[in-house]
Amino acid sequence: MPDSPQTPSDSEGPDAEGTAEAPIAEAPKAQSEAPTTPVVAPAVSAQAPADPAAATAAYPAGAPSAATATATPEKKRNVAPLVAALAVGAVLGGASGAGVAAWAVSANGGTHSTTTSVPQTITVNNKDDVSTVTAVAAKAGPSVVTINVSASSEGGTGSGVVLSSDGYVLTNTHVVTLDGDSADGTIEVTTYDGKLYKAKVVGTDPIVDLAVIKLQDASGLQPIDFGDSSKINVGDKAIAIGAPLGLSNTVTDGIVSALNRSIQIASSAVPNSGSSDGATPAPNDGSSPYNFWNFNQNGSSTPSTQTADISLPVIQTDAPINPGNSGGALLNSSGKLIGINVAIASTGSTSSSTQSGSIGVGFAIPADLAKRISDEIIKTGHGSHGLLGASVQTATSDTSAVVGALIADVSSGGGADKAGLKKGDVVTAFNGVPITDSTDLTAQVRSLAPGSSAKLSYVRGSNSSTVDVTLGTLKV
């Protein structure tokens, strides 16, 4: 395996604390086929009080409704690269022309579903046997919307959560930019009760793949109730609501599978220059294990020529999420938001097989980070992020006796320099979060606001130390 190249100083780009290393071969192309027969979702209607033991949510009344899907030809797509037999794609339902809801990482001329989804509420047939999931869905469902974006011959479907009664909505950058393919797409939003709104982008933060849009002439919407994502445990109930494959108001459940995960994704929405001195981030070579993919107007899926790796701190869940869930809600058993769904893992496939759907490995941006960034976007139009002032690489057995992020270089006068860190130190923890590689450290640093103070643990030789470091400001 070739040596990993050293990344530039983190003052030079959005992900400079991470490495440009990616010793992973690209995945072979695959075909993805949707069913060729119509798919009809069951009609839903009911109104019933929630079981107090399950939750205190009121169940909205609703008329019966249905969702239908018919097969139409799909143009070619490429799949994301592999790592450890997994490839992660954006949870964005993408399509060309009039079609919606195809795998963003599917490939090579299969078929996809064109989905027409009418509003639906929660069905409660037996009020004496209401589950926690039903109660959570009834409580939070009105705060989740379906987002349709179109630009030229491209289009896609994602989800979002309502932030205010007058129409601020939080979603992913890759949803509103069609994976970075368009900066000015037409956005139409459907609320849970079937109302349609035009929307405009308030601001995007490609560093953590979050964006805020504003619905035009909206009022009386139900804002999402934010939970404290720092208080969740592995094994906690996790409920996802969104529009997978364009099917609005879809509810799935599972658990929090892991915490303090980080994933690295090639984002084509990151600006060309990642620092105030005009330095250009290292180009992405398409070998990152986690990638968002653009769709060109010919329907083929190709990575943008202007991409940079971003590192995201994420919650891992086995609640089934699929393309179209991007930007939707991950909720706890009280119906409070704990994360914004952003990506899924899928098994690698060959050209003779089909791309699988959810395999129980999904990722969400923690609600605490999403809240900070959304507040900043509404106030200033953009989010802010910390800067360590050092470039790092993943420690290996040739360079360290412990796992962690190896300091490859220190920027003079930066936070790392002022804290006494030196080249060759191996960072093992950041604010109590274990650091196993360069992606972990970058994700944790970027999740904090500029000027934040953090406790950083590192190993130098045979000695372990912990220091306080004050973060600088990432310039994008």
Which residues are known to be catalytic? 174, 209, 326
Residues 240-266: b if buried by 16+ CB within 10 A, e if exposed = bbbbbbbbbbbbbbbebbebbbbbbbb
| Burial per residue of 58-67, b for 16 or more beta-carbon CB atoms within 10 angstroms, e otherwise | ebbebeebeb
CA distance to 20, 182, 381, 383, per residue, from 62 (Å) = 51, 36, 37, 38
237's enclosing H/E stretch is: strand 237-242
Whether 348 contacts 291, CB under 8 Å: no
Would you state the torsion angle of the CA atoms of residues 262, 267, 270, 272, taken in this order, to the nearest 10 degrees? Answer: 120
Amino acid at 139: K
| C-alpha 345, offset from chain centre | 12
- The CB density around residue 222, as the number of other CB atoms within 10 Å, is 18
The phi, psi pair for 195, rounded to 5°, reads: -80, 145
Please answer whether residues 303 and 268 qualify as being in contact, where contact means their C-beta atoms are separated by less than 8 angstroms.
yes
